[in-house]
Chains A and B, each alone.
Chain A
Amino acid sequence: MSEPLIEVRNLKKHFPLGKGPFAKKNGRVVKAVDGVSFSINSGESFGLVGESGSGKSTTGRCILNLLKPTSGQVYYDGKPLFDSEKGIALNKSQMLPFRREMQLIFQDPNASLDPRMTVGAIVEEGIRKHKIAQGAEASKLAGDFLELCGLERSTAKRYPSEFSGGQKQRIGIARALALSPRFIVADEPLSALDVSIQSQVLNLMSELKEKLHLTFLFISHDLKTVEYFCDKIGVLYLGTLVETGTTPETMTRPLHPYTQALFSAIPPDDPTADNPPRIPMIGEIPSATNMPSGCKFHTRCPYAVERCAQEEPQLTCAEGSHCVACHRWKEIAEGCAPTVYTSKE
């Protein structure tokens, strides 16, 4: 139960800037993911949150080997998918057996279903490709999975355009489940849907998670859905994890100033009640081509001091499984006053 199914160590993904054969030589890179480590136990769901541009989706894609990481290690069930130290990088055909067990649910259900294929064909494609079943049996299996996702068997004959956003997302989920995967990366599966439909899809996913004992990497910028769905949370900022912990720990007592600001930006449940004031965050997320020195958050942090601009803090365990990457988390937790530090850059 508590065996880690996915282990990620010091994962980095740098994209070279510019085009052509010399792009890699000029040395300018976008550090989309810059040293991320975490593990997900079997049957758990891990929520990856952060603003846009923080590297959430890139992390997800690197784990699935859809993008080749620059360095680091990705292990699935104890087997390496990528290990820069041992020089292991699985190619397409070597990945094939893993593909069946690791599936992806996409953000935009309108764009991720082929409009010229029937729903049945979409769900069946993987079943045939992985030789789970052929012919009529494959169609029957596809129908089973559609039913599992709350759609009628007859939908198999129809085309994606005939369905609403929520239904399309169900088709996307059925397609992912058709291969009986153990691990699913859900990349913002709800953000294209209406609030009332979001809860339908979220209920379905929690149900399936229990029933099929699935392990999830849930990528989202919606903190409320993450809170509901995930057992653990990792907060990403500019490609580095600034805080990880179990959901209750992190949500009730965020330690990193970024996490605190992020959580306080969620609109309150009842705006008419007496809500704590929002923690202001200065400016925008810096561009990944021009990363700040030291702690990446120091340019926007209300508690930044000179040390933060010099030295990059490491993710260290603060309380139990609750980890934070901040030089001053203890002082902040004890309620120290905000500083006025302006970077010299």
Chain B
Amino acid sequence: MENEKFFEIKDLVVKFGPPKRRNAVLKGINLSVPKGKVLGLVGESGCGKSVTMLSAMGLLPKRNCEISGSIRFDGQELLNMPVKELQKIRGKRIAMVFQEPMTSLNPVFTIGQQLAEVLEQHEGLKGEANKKKVLELLNMVAIPDPASVYDYYPFKLSGGMRQRVMIAMALACDPELVIADEPTTALDVTTQAQIIDLFQDLQHKLNTSIVFISHDLGVIGEISDEIAVLYAGYVMEHCDVTTLFKNPCHPYTFGLMASRQGRSMYNKERLYNIPGMVPSAENMPKGCPFAPRCPKAGERCRQEVPELREIAPGHTVRCWEVSEHV
């Protein structure tokens, strides 16, 4: 049981804005990641994917932001944990890979220095032992010629290489949970494929749990065991990969699937698209947030926010129009 809920987010509500006019960005997120599994978070920009994980890492600004709910990691509550204690976990047991490899490395330090810092901070490694471990890490993420890359400044590396360095940094202390926020979005397909392979490799080797955030269903589908579809601060659908691809139930999931350009589409018919756009936190519609864009929306959808219901074992959907599986 403990294993099942290695990392658990419960009723997470995050509100942004000045105290009198706070707008909820997350409205009760419930997610959990078992040990050694991969959870994929998918949704358009502005759905709350990144905010969910930033709040887990305690990286949201304290001012103008209100967080409630619970985030538990291996039995410990992370929300409201004193910063000093959080620092012992963050970067060591939970690591994060950020979206922009171009901006998340410090341009005035060499790759070696930046990786060494992590090891010194968390593992107390110094001198030769430290350098040896850094080279080992660079080797592990398949960086050619680690010895010279050690002394490079970030500008000398390509996007894919920098992302590898970021991953090496995240893995420096053998974390038990890796949160990867769109780690392949800025990269070419070929590099993307290499990075996905790298993640899968590491997961098998080290039995790491991974939360993988992306807006690309194809990428998410390749790497995840379970997928949660987020929209406007709600989990809209949550199930395992096979179910999601074989039997997507929520109209939003359906729309996301259909708007991907298929691999064999020579028939030049119009691509399906979801009309309109994600509502902003200030102008949230009453009722289901997806109702204004939903082809199936009825009267009830415009009035009441649907409950997250289990329509089959392990398959939950937030929609009034979806009935139980027959």
Q: Which residues of A contact B (CB under 8 A)?
A: 51-53, 164, 166, 194-200, 202-203, 206, 221-225, 227-228, 247-248, 251, 261-262, 264-272, 278, 281, 283-285
Contact = CB atoms under 8 A, between A and B. Distances in A.
Interface string B244-261: 011000000001100111
17 contacts: A51-B189, A52-B188, A194-B44, A196-B274, A199-B273, A203-B271, A206-B268, A227-B261, A228-B271, A251-B264, A266-B189, A267-B216, A267-B222, A268-B222, A269-B263, A272-B221, A284-B158
A224 B261 contact: yes
Contacts of B256: 195-196
A262 B245 contact: no
B5 interface: no
A290 B160 CA distance: 19
B242 interface: yes
B44 to A, nearest CB: 5
Interface of B: 44-45, 144, 158-161, 188-194, 197, 215-219, 221-222, 241-242, 245-246, 255-256, 259-266, 268, 270-275, 277
B266 A247 contact: yes
Given A265-B190, A271-B245, 16 more contacts: A51-B188, A166-B277, A195-B217, A196-B44, A200-B275, A206-B270, A221-B189, A227-B261, A228-B271, A248-B266, A266-B218, A268-B221, A271-B222, A272-B242, A278-B193, A278-B197
B245 A270 contact: yes
A53 B157 CA distance: 13
B54 to A, nearest CB: 19
B25 to A, nearest CB: 17
Given A224-B263, A261-B190, A195 B221 contact: no
Nearest to A278: B193
Contacts of B259: 195-196, 198-199
A272 B242 CA distance: 6
Contacts of A262: 189-190
A221 B245 CA distance: 25
Contacts of B274: 196
Nearest to A264: B193
Given A265-B189, A269-B262, A195 B161 contact: no
Given A52-B188, A195-B44, A199-B261, A284 B273 contact: no
A198 B218 CA distance: 15
Contacts of A202: 261, 271
Contacts of A203: 270-271, 273
Nearest to A53: B158
Given A224-B261, A267-B221, A268-B222, A194 B215 contact: yes
Contacts of A251: 263-264
Nearest to B189: A265
Contacts of B219: 267
B190 A51 contact: yes
Contacts of A247: 266
Contacts of A272: 221, 241-242, 245-246
Contacts of A266: 189, 218, 263
Most B C-beta atoms less than 10 A away, residue of A198, A270, A283: A270
Given A52-B188, A221-B188, A224-B260, A283 B144 contact: yes
